[in-house]
Amino acid sequence: MAKIRFFLVLCLCALVSIPALRADHLTIIAVNDTHSQIDPTSDGLGGVARRRAIYDQLRAQNPNTVLIHAGDAVQGTLYFSLYKGEVEYALMDTLGYDAIIMGNHEFDNGMEQLAAHYRNVDAVKLSANYDVSMTPLDGLLQPYWIKAGGDKRVAFFGINVNPAGLIADSNCKGLRYLSAPDVADATAKYLKEVQKVDYAIMVSHIGYSSYEPTEPNDTLIIGHSHYIDMVISSHSHTTIKPGSDWSRIANADGKLIPIGQNGKSGKLVATYDLDLETGDIRYSHITVDSNWDEAASRYTAMNEWLAGYRHGVDSIMANPVGTSARFMKNSSDAMQNWVSDMTMEVIKELSGIKNIDCAIMNKGGIRVDMPKGIVTEGVIGSMFPFDNRFVVLEMPGSELIESLKLMCARGGDAVSKELRATYNEKGEMTKATLKGKKINPNKIYNVATIDYLANGGDYMEPMTRCKRLFVDTQKYGNHVLNYVKRLQAQGKLIDASNEVRIEKKK
């Protein structure tokens, strides 16, 4: 799609007071993991027009400003499901991003489509540890970008997540990953000693903490660094409170390095006030709330353009398909239990395989909360937006045990009522049962799941070694939608138990 530009007079009226900064300061504005949240969330926070109002006011306060997006700009609402990134990438230059990096979800529709979007985005695309020379992204990325501020030079460089176990192989074919810990401080050292920059700032999409314990994270990289001056973090959806112990991590020399991250969905905007003379950095958050609505309403051209897309989203969001007995947060045990038990029921019917022993799903695949009361088609579509298929695996008990060990190590995951596991303080599995009996490593079990996990997604390598008895042809979200409609027709509510099926015990 051709780039859409909006030539508007910027709305600089201040609804929230932001102090003016001196010219010898660089203002760094950063967001992360906005996940296609174009409109405010159900709790009334976020929204792209509000964020633009914040960005523009900050730029008016200090023209020496840089705007960064730290990845996962897409995937998570119907805007991406319906329009495949058309909206999010067209807005990149409208909002005025200077530099962006890729999250893992930028790859969800493959590199051909990502490259097509990136060619129409002016912002610098950063990655120091992805070699994309053999992919459609060749020529579109650069390892670092240097911003001059008076007589000082500030470098920003991108560090991306390991695609193995996180991004489907077919969606990142030809991409060569270079170890984040090996590249990060070496890049900062090169920037300071060769490029002679004054400050080296890492823009990261590997997470403040690790979802998979064997994978590196930002705190680990800072702990081994001598040259990185600040980290703009993302991927783990962590809200790092300014002034907290989490917001400064000691490096290899004992120096406290600032790090910030803003949760997800664009509910917060981070600002970093870098004093270019002293190197002091003041980190703060701005809440993206209704205080910004008046300023946001003045972006007439942008809002009218968005209205065309919003009509398609709203038509689906307004269509009721079921009723929920109660609110269930997407990360809750109840929600994970409902999804896993539903998977068992649906796959038995789809596959014709009656002797399915259990179901394993990924809690990260449940993207939004289940509301109490009316549930719409849009809620279900937003909850399960991924293009994954239901699968039945013929799984040796030994591989099932290894899979449960991985889930224990990361604090549990979504499993059906037949499975139980416990783990200790170290994340080590201490017990695993299926239908009340110890899992036999030499027995074969039939396990329902999705192809993302069967392909090794979420680091579930044991599943890749199992025979596939059944692979469906439709997106599994379509089957969930039909299941919810069937419950409604039967006069049944969406509900589940709160039991903890993978439990931490001392």
Are the beta carbons of 115 and 140 closer than 8 angstroms? yes
**What is residue 150's predicted lDDT score, i.e. its pLDDT?**
80
**Per-residue pLDDT at 19 exceeds 80:** no
**What is residue 164's predicted lDDT score, i.e. its pLDDT?**
93
Q: What is the pTM of this model?
A: 0.88
Are the beta carbons of 480 and 342 closer than 8 angstroms? yes
Q: Which residues are registered as beta bridge partners of 390?
A: 450
Tens of pLDDT, residue by residue over 35-88, are 999 999 989 999 999 999 999 999 999 999 999 999 999 999 999 999 999 999
Give CA–CA dist 252/190, Å, rounded. 17
How many beta carbons lie within 10 A of that of residue 112, not counting itself? 11
Rounded to the nearest angstrom, the gap between the alpha carbon of residue 290 and the centroid of all alpha carbons in its chain is 24
Tens of pLDDT, residue by residue over 194-251, are 999 999 999 999 999 988 888 999 999 999 999 999 999 999 999 999 999 999 999 9
Give CA–CA dist 126/140, Å, rounded. 9
Give CA–CA dist 172/108, Å, rounded. 9
Mean pLDDT of the chain: 94
Tens of pLDDT, residue by residue over 284-339, are 999 999 999 999 999 999 999 999 999 999 999 989 999 999 999 999 999 999 99
Give CA–CA dist 115/172, Å, rounded. 12
Q: How many CA atoms lie within 13 A of 282 on its CB side?
A: 9
pLDDT category of residue 22 using cuts at 50, 70 and 90: low
Give CA–CA dist 338/106, Å, rounded. 28
Provide the token pair at 61: 């306060």
Are the beta carbons of 142 and 160 closer than 8 angstroms? no
Tens of pLDDT, residue by residue over 250-261, are 999 999 999 999
* Domains with residue ranges and CATH for the chain: 25-311 (3.60.21.10), 319-504 (3.90.780.10)
**What is residue 212's predicted lDDT score, i.e. its pLDDT?**
83
Burial of 442 (0-12, 13-18, 19+ CB in 10 A): exposed
pLDDT category of residue 474 using cuts at 50, 70 and 90: very high
Q: Which residue has better confidence, 153 or 3? A: 153
How many beta carbons lie within 10 A of that of residue 43, not counting itself? 10
Q: Which range (11-25, 118-132, 167-181, 231-245) has the least confidence?
A: 11-25
Q: Which residues are registered as beta bridge partners of 361?
A: 414
Tens of pLDDT, residue by residue over 154-208, are 999 999 999 998 999 999 999 999 999 999 999 999 999 999 999 999 999 999 9
Residue with tokens 């799903």: 361
Provide the token pair at 22: 């001196």
**What is residue 23's predicted lDDT score, i.e. its pLDDT?**
59
